[in-house]
Amino acid sequence: MPKFDLAPIADESVFTTADRVFSITLDLKADADEVWAGLVADRPLAWCRLLNGRYTSERPFGVGTTRTVKVLGGGTVWERFFIWDDAQRRHAFVVEQASLPMLSVFAEDYKVDPVEGGSRFTWTFAISPSKFAAPLFPLVFPLIKKLLLSNITKDTVQHFGAL
């Protein structure tokens, strides 16, 4: 399988410098610890039908942890976490390599906070296209965003329940 390198990212500035940055916020019935446990499980995000991920680092996880995720119909990405804070239930990663040459930057930030009756899961994405994909990006990005967000939102709410 080919691997294409993405831009090296060292910190959370990616969430202000990428071409597209957007977040979804989900208020869930499950408490914050249960949602966090699902994110750091051996098969993270197992409830998301479009994703099949696994950590490739040994526990305990922290900054530098690596993960591989296969996206249904969209190839494979190899990720490295640059934020990991179990106490704050937050982690963020950058995609270092992808099996398709579509992206120059891709990062995600997950934050789970307790709220009355459950938790609030804030999921932030940072994306920049590769030079190859840039001409089509304005046309394709809204469709991909809608498809991806509708599926992961639906799957997450179905798994944990909506507040």
d(CA 52, CA 40): 13
Q: What's the confidence (pLDDT) of residue 126?
A: 97
User: Minimal CA–CA distance to 93: which of 71, 120, 131, 65?
Assistant: 65
Which pLDDT value is given to residue 67?
98
Residue 72's CB is within 10 A of a number of other CB atoms, namely 11
The reported pTM is: 0.94
CA distance 32 to 37: 9
pLDDT at 18: 97
Q: CA torsion 51→79→68→118, rounded to 10°?
A: -40
H or E segment to which residue 76 belongs: strand 75-85
List, in order of start, the domains of the chain with CATH numbers.
Answer: 4-160 (3.30.530.20)
**Dist CA 83 CA 90 (whole Å):** 7
Instruction: Measure the CA–CA gap between 40 and 57, rounded to whole angstroms.
Output: 12
Q: And the tokens for 89?
A: 């239930």
Q: What is the pLDDT of residue 14?
A: 98
The parts of the chain modelled with pLDDT lower than 50 are none
